[in-house]
Structure formats: structure tokens, C-alpha cells
Amino acid sequence: MKKAFLFLLFFLFAFTANSQVIRGRVLDQKTREPIDFASVFFNGTFHGTTTAEDGSFELDVTPYAGRTLQISAMGYNSSALKSLIEGELYEVLLERALYEISEVSVESKSLEKKRKAFMRIFKDEFLGLTKNAGDCYILNEKDITFNYHTNKDTLRALSRKPLIILNKSLGYQITYHLDKFEYDRKNNTTFFTGNIIFNMDLAPGSENRTKIEKRRMKTYTGSCKHFFSALWKNELSVEGFQVHEKQSLQPVEYEEMVVSISAMKYFSYPRDLEISYNHFLSTVSFRGPGSYFALDGFFEPEGILWYGTMSLDRIADWLPYEYTPN
């Protein structure tokens, strides 16, 4: 099984290692009309572009070879490109989004009161409850719609437009393409998916630059980004992390949980792992053979389930993958 996994990783690496500039067009899946101003970017970074009037795009992908390229546009379901190959002309067909929630005009005082309550829940679950979240703002809240009259146990939210978020605490303005948001009141669980692109770094011109940098460093310390960066360098203990098997509490060594293929590394283990940092505990459960990760702290989230401290981070605590601690 492991040999087959290693062969698959080598095969993928052969196609991604030499990627540089890629080109393509983004079209409506049904009409095949070009979609302009679609976002083409790497999730969680400043690195991306938008499509021209004819739906075309061009992007240098060298810094992020091996990662998935996201394509998002207003009114459409997001799509992605994997195993990018230089010289190939990509045709991306986006499917129009079908919204299960109908837009409601909030006029009555009772509905206005309900919207405020729903918005409070949404922001708590989406932005988070940390100090950073207290100074993080959604600039176009009016574009968010909730399921006011259906399914009392589950709060659903949608936005036909990308959410523009100003994080004053960390000094960033970001755009978030929200694909799905569900909050289960009965079980107190939240699930949301989407893509985030960083638009502006506000720290350089700010009078509070020093304070912002300190908050960024505090946010980074002990985060998933910090963990994977330390793991890539094989410096977990130096950075203050300890990793054990969840059940046996036996320490797990670097070689037991990292598979290296040339310059690419994959996080993999047959059982659940417990990560300790300054007495804060997190648990990692694997859903597949391995998760690609990189020096900048990036990791493929699809193959991992998080529990504990690291699972509590929300949008207000996101740092771009370009961020490096001083």
C-alpha cells in the first residue's frame, strides 16, 4: 500500500515540479460564455489574478507548484485545478450556483431582530471568538442571507457576492468566497467551506505597525501554520511541539509521520495523533493516505480532521502563507 502511495506521489510530482506560467479561460458551463472578473488564486495567499473580458487568465504558479489553484466567481460554484502543467491551455467551466435559501426583505421588526441574532451567530462561528475577531469586520454584511423560515435546528447562510473582510487586528483586508455555511444548533457544531484570498497588507503604512506585528506573531505561535512549518524543517521539539499517538501516548518520530518525495513532503500516520503545545492539546485524525504540506505552513485540509485547540481558529486568525515570523 505504501509503495503504491509513493508511486502516486512521484507521478504527481513529475507533472508539477516544472510548472511556471499557466494560461486558460473561465467559461459558463451551460452557455460557454466567458466569465470576466473571476478570481484565479491560491487559497490563503496574496497570489492570484482575475480573468479578462474574454474569460482568459495567465498566472505564474512557480511559488506554489503542487498546490490546487482555485477559481471563484460571483454567482457560480467554485472550481479548482490540480496537477498544473506549464504550456497547457486550461478551460474551466463554472456551474451556476443554485441557492436553497431565498432572499428575504427584512422589513418587520421581528425579522430584523431575528437577522441580528443570526448575524451574531454567523460572525461568532465564521470569524471566531478570539481577540482578533473582536476587531475583524465584514464590510458587506448586507449581502449575507439566512434561512429565516425553514429548518429551525440548522442555521444556513449564503452570500451571492464575495465577503470583503477587514481584519484590523492583524492588518489585512481579505476576500472570502463562501460556498457553504451551516450551524447545527442542536449539536452546537459548525461547518463552512470557501476560499480566501488576501488583498492588502495594511501594516506597512499603519501607525500601529509594531502592535500588529506582535499580534501576528502571537496568532502564528502554536497554530496549524506554525506546526507544519516546524514539521517541514524537522524542528517540532525546538519550536515547542510534542506529538504522541492518541491512544498509547507513545512519542511519534519525524520519520514515522513524514513521507518525502524529492522536494515535496506528506503528513501521514495510520492512527490518530495528539499534538501538544504549551499544554494546549489538539488531535489529528487522518481521512486518507497523506496530506501534502509545505515550509510556509500550507497543508491540504481534505485529508485531515482537527479536534481541540487548533480546530478553534476561524477566519479572524488566518495569516497568509506569505507571512513569516520575524
pLDDT at 98: 81
The model's confidence at residue 104, banded by pLDDT at 50, 70 and 90, is low
Mean pLDDT of 197-217: 95
Question: Is pLDDT of 135 > 70?
Answer: yes
pLDDT of residue 92: 97
Region 98-109 average pLDDT: 61
Mean pLDDT for the stretch of residues 98-111 = 63
% of the chain surpassing 90 pLDDT: 74
Statement: residue 94 has pLDDT above 80: yes
Would you say the pTM of this structure is higher than 0.75?
A: yes
Over range 110-139, report the average pLDDT.
93
Mean pLDDT of 195-205: 95
Please provide the average confidence, as pLDDT, over all residues in the chain. Answer: 89
How many angstroms separate the CA atoms of 15 and 283, rounded? 33
Three-state SS sequence of the chain? CHHHHHHHHHHHHHHHCCCCEEEEEEEECCCCCECCCCEEEECCECCEEECCCCCEEEEECHHHCCCCEEEECCCECCEEECCCCCCCEEEEEECECCCCCCCCCCCCHHHHHHHHHHHHHHHHHHCCCCCCHHHEEECCHHHEEECCCCCCCEEEEEECCCEEEEECCCCEEEEEEEEEEEEECCCCEEEEEEEEEEEEECCCCCCCHHHHHHHHHHHHCCCHHHHHHHHHCCCHHHHCEEEEECCCCCECCHHHHEEEECCEEEECCCCCEEEEECCEEEEEEECCCCEEECCCCCECHHHEEEEEHHHHCCHHHCCCCCCCCC
Domain ranges of the chain: 2-94, 109-201, 221-317
Q: What percent of the chain has pLDDT over 70?
A: 90
Would you place residue 150 in the very low, low, confident or very high pLDDT band (cuts 50, 70, 90)?
low
Least confident of 47-61, 93-107, 123-137, 211-225: 93-107
Report whether pLDDT(48) > 80. Answer: yes
How high is the pLDDT of residue 224?
A: 96
Q: Does the pLDDT of residue 243 top 90, yes or no?
A: yes
Domain 2-94 adopts which CATH fold?
Immunoglobulin-like (2.60.40)
What pLDDT sits at residue 133? 97
Is residue 100's pLDDT more than 90?
no
Residue 18 has pLDDT above 70, yes or no: no
- State the pLDDT at residue 11: 40
pLDDT given for residue 178 in this prediction: 94
